[in-house]
Each structure stands twice: as structure tokens, then as C-alpha cells.
Structure 1
Amino acid sequence: MKRILIATALAAAAVAAQAQYTGPSTVPAATVKSLQAQGKDDQPAVLRGQIVSQVGDELYSFDDGTGQMRVKIKHKLWPAGQPVGATTKVELTGEYDKDWVGEPKFKVRQVRVL
């Protein structure tokens, strides 16, 4: 009986760890086109569109209809139990990463399926 209670408590803690805030944000919505044209390094933003392909470990191609951009999504950020395909609409919260060398990308802090 004690093992069942411990297992239940651990399962509940794991579910609570997966919870994420889904309310309003003060971070402005942006487009790939606007970030590429006027984005500043480490600028917070929200992108809405589709993740169209995986191009590397934790690196994906994102398309919002105005253009495409590489996005970095850590494995632990994917929403549990919600599969994401090339046609799934998502909202990505994070920051624009404009390095001195290489292609700019978007570092994702939260993935939300719309």
C-alpha cells in the first residue's frame, strides 16, 4: 500500500512539473519577417505558425507565412501528450538570437499548441 501511495505522489509531481502558464502575456507577437528585418539580439517575442521540419538536434524550421526561421526547442519544452506535426499551429514564446556569426534563430522558452 505504501508503494502505491509513493508511486501516486511521484506521478502527481511529474504532472505538476509539466504544467505551464497559458494566460495573457505582455511579450508582443511578432512575425519572422519583422524579426529578421528589425529584431535585436535577445529581443523577447511570440511567434505563431507551424514547425515544418527538424533540421538538427533541438533545431527546427519554423514558418509563419511571412518567412521561415530556425528555432531551437529543448526536448523538455515539448507539450506532453500533444503531438506536433508540420500542419499543427503552435505559439512559440522566446527570444530572437542574432549571433555575430551564423544564421539568426529563435530560442524557444515555451511551446503551446493552438
Structure 2
Amino acid sequence: MSARFNVLSLLAPAMLAGALALPAYAQYSGPSTIKEGTVAGILANPVDDQAVQLQGHLLRRTANDKYIFSDGTGEIVAEIKDKRFPAQPVDEKTKVELVGEVDTGLTRPPEIEVDSMRVVQ
């Protein structure tokens, strides 16, 4: 009985740890307080930490995690970590949606710090 108890006492925590290690994928599709904006609007009145949602194209990569994004109204630097990219390939012709925050600085133009990115069909 004690050998069976020892196996179960080791197996249960291992199974629990394995279950907790599984990634959780959830996509909320209901209403949001994040309003879709434009690059021109952000550049005209940048508000630090303002939540934004933009649709457009990544035109080019300028540095590690830095891309030029355009929605047709203007261009802005988007800071996008590799883990934020969708599984499918993205190039300058791929329409994407960026959700993130405006990041202002004293010595540089505003940027978008991207929290999520998806391909728009």
C-alpha cells in the first residue's frame, strides 16, 4: 500500500504541473473600450499609454523589434516583440491589426508599443 501511495504522491503533482503548463488560448470577440484610431490622429495628439487599435501594413523593419507601420494616414514606429507576431508570415503587403499603447518620449516621436497583432483577412 505504501509503494502505491508513493507513486500516486509523485504522479499527481507531475500531472498537475503538466496541465498548468499548457498554454491558454482565448480570443474575446465582444465589444471593447479600445477605439480604432489612425496614425495621423495619434501623431497630431499623442497621449502616453493611450490604448489604440490600428489596421494597416508593416512597411519595413528598422531595428530589433522596431517596424514602420502605416495605415494610409501616416507612418509611425511600432515596437513589436517576436512573440507578438502571428503564426503566419507577414510582409509589407499583409494587412495587420495592431493593438497596443502609445509610447511618447521627450526626444523622439511617439511610437506604438504593440501588445497583440493579427492578420486581417
Interval containing the TM-score (normalised by the shorter chain) = 0.7 to 0.9
Instruction: Give the match for residue 48 of structure 1.
Output: 55
**Which amino acid in the other structure matches residue 89 of structure 1?**
K
Q: Quote how far apart the aligned CAs of 1:103 are.
A: 2.2
Instruction: Give the match for residue 62 of structure 1.
Output: 69
Q: Report the 3-state secondary structure (helix = DSSP H, G, I; strand = E; otherwise coil) of the residue aligned with 1:33.
A: helix
Stretches (4+) displaced over 6 A: none
Select 1:85's aligned residue among 91, 96, 120. 91
- Gap regions ≥5 residues in structure 2: 1-17
Select 1:37's aligned residue among 39, 44, 67. 44
- Gap regions ≥5 residues in structure 1: 1-8
Q: Quote how far apart the aligned CAs of 1:104 are.
A: 1.4
Instruction: Give the match for residue 74 of structure 1.
Output: 81
Matches within 5 A, 1:17-32: 17=24, 19-24=25-30, 25-32=32-39
Q: Distance in 2 between matches of 1:30 and 1:39?
A: 12
Select 1:99's aligned residue among 98, 101, 105. 105
Q: Distance in 1 between matches of 2:49 and 2:27?
A: 21
Q: Distance in 1 between matches of 2:52 and 2:83?
A: 20
Structure 1 vs Structure 2 CA RMSD? 1.9
TM-score, reference length from structure 2: 0.76
Q: Report the 3-state secondary structure (helix = DSSP H, G, I; strand = E; otherwise coil) of the residue aligned with 1:94.
A: strand
Identity %: 38
> What is the aligned length?
102
Q: Distance in 2 between matches of 1:31 and 1:76?
A: 24
Instruction: Give the match for residue 8 of structure 2.
Output: none
Q: Report the 3-state secondary structure (helix = DSSP H, G, I; strand = E; otherwise coil) of the residue aligned with 1:91.
A: strand
